Structure 1
């Protein structure tokens, strides 16, 4: 049986002692976990929602472990080349860890992992800067969905409103957001008040490693240095 490379010493960036110890702890934790699970995946995410992700993670905690954080630290833990990888072929995983991505270590069958990720989708209110998925326009006239107490707040968001006999009234047509354009802070607040959700939290599998093979799932990865079986 080949000698494990998990305990090889690594050099992390120069930081304060506390920061260095924290990074070393993460590296050690990932390396120990790699020995406990059958396969490893890199996944990307869009419109991350921490609470929803925690629920998804807890759903799989009996069979899997997730890591999010510094990609560089995870790369160091896994190994960034053949010479420092902790298991054969695992350094290919670290090459895909870039941008908004995370690491999944699991004992679940490949088909089950794909099913869970493909079915995961959570809708939420859009944050500032998110691209609007549709145009939202309010027509001149009464806004029955808002109570009279909301009128000062709506005015602060730039809406041309007034109170007319205790009813919030729009004195001219107003575009909250345009499809394909970034949502402003004011528009984000108004859309939330209207109950309109434009953000979808999704997870996308990018690649999979196992002792037998390595697969890349997503087109467009810079995989010129990635070895596939």
Structure 2
């Protein structure tokens, strides 16, 4: 007899939070990386982009390691004081882990590492409160994206939901009057940021900025202050190691 469609098994269990064993394992993994690589850098990406960081991770695979997670756990692995630091001088790195900052470990020469990150940039879609880098005006007529393509009729409600006064003409979302999407320098609202995403206009830039670094031979070396780049965003638990 076929099972009734009304008979459904519903799980009432909740995902358990990662406990002390997970944190202990993370500390051990970080310290293993400290033994493997010569240099430890502090980095910031400002407005976090998972896909951009993933690309950096892939490009440095085998020659570098990214650690991006709960600052308290990472600092504990490094050592927060001279008495508890894993290696001499690492507490200076731990003290600077405030906000969404991460660690980048590599054995590459510091000059070459800096040069690589200074030249690595990728276009990205702007987010809420990001200042528009250019003025964008859509002309009257069929709405077209950055690739000069019109939208299907099914997208008309989404376009209208982003503030455009649209209508369907021959099945194509259309503007009756010229419409300004954003003005250079203005902070984008969530609505305008979504619209730029739909239109395919990238007004932001993904970039990793390196700050201070440490090595066992050279000790702690003061670098650029990254505190201005630190947003209030706190990494999720699943971002502990990258």
Range into which the TM-score falls when normalised by the shorter chain: 0.7 to 0.9
Deviates more, 1:87-96 or 1:43-52: 43-52
After superposition, residues 34-45 of structure 1 pair within 5 angstroms as: 34-45=34-45
Structure 1 residues 174 and 91: CA distance shift in structure 2, 3 A: same
1: distance between equivalents of 2:226 and 2:66?
A: 24
Of 192, 196, 201 in structure 2, the residue corresponding to residue 196 of structure 1 is 201
Residue equivalent to 1:180? 185
Of 184, 195, 218 in structure 1, the residue corresponding to residue 224 of structure 2 is 218
Q: Contact between 2:27 and 2:77, CA under 8 Å: does it hold in 1?
A: yes
Match of 1:92, SS? helix
Structure 1 residues 48 and 219: CA distance shift in structure 2, 3 A: closer
Deviates more, 1:73-82 or 1:127-136: 127-136
Cα RMSD for the two superposed structures:
2.4
Residue equivalent to 2:164? 159
Residue equivalent to 1:72? 72
Structure 1 residues 35 and 148: CA distance shift in structure 2, 3 A: closer
- Specify which structure has the bigger relative contact order, considering alpha-carbon pairs within 8 angstroms and separated by 6 or more residues: 2
The CA deviation at 1:29 is: 0.9
Q: Contact between 1:47 and 1:200, CA under 8 Å: does it hold in 2?
A: no
Structure 1 residues 171 and 49: CA distance shift in structure 2, 3 A: same
Deviates more, 1:188-197 or 1:106-115: 188-197
Structure 1 residues 159 and 81: CA distance shift in structure 2, 3 A: same
After superposition, residues 1-229 of structure 1 pair within 5 angstroms as: 18-139=18-139, 141-143=140-142, 145=144, 146-147=150-151, 149=153, 150-164=155-169, 168-211=173-216, 212-219=218-225
Q: Contact between 2:133 and 2:184, CA under 8 Å: does it hold in 1?
A: yes
C-alpha offsets along residues 24-83 of structure 1, whole Å, 9 cap, x if unaligned? 111111112211211111111123322231221122121221100111111111011111
Structure 1 residues 174 and 144: CA distance shift in structure 2, 3 A: closer
Q: Contact between 1:64 and 1:107, CA under 8 Å: does it hold in 2?
A: yes
Aligned length: 206
Structure 1 residues 181 and 23: CA distance shift in structure 2, 3 A: farther
Q: Which runs of 4+ in 1 moved over 6 A?
A: none
The CA deviation at 1:96 is: 1.6
Q: Structure 2 regions of 5+ residues with no counterpart?
A: 1-15, 145-149, 229-242
Q: Contact between 2:127 and 2:193, CA under 8 Å: does it hold in 1?
A: yes
Q: Structure 1 regions of 5+ residues with no counterpart?
A: 1-15, 223-229
Residue equivalent to 1:227? none
Give the TM-score normalised by structure 2.
0.76
1: distance between equivalents of 2:158 and 2:134?
A: 24
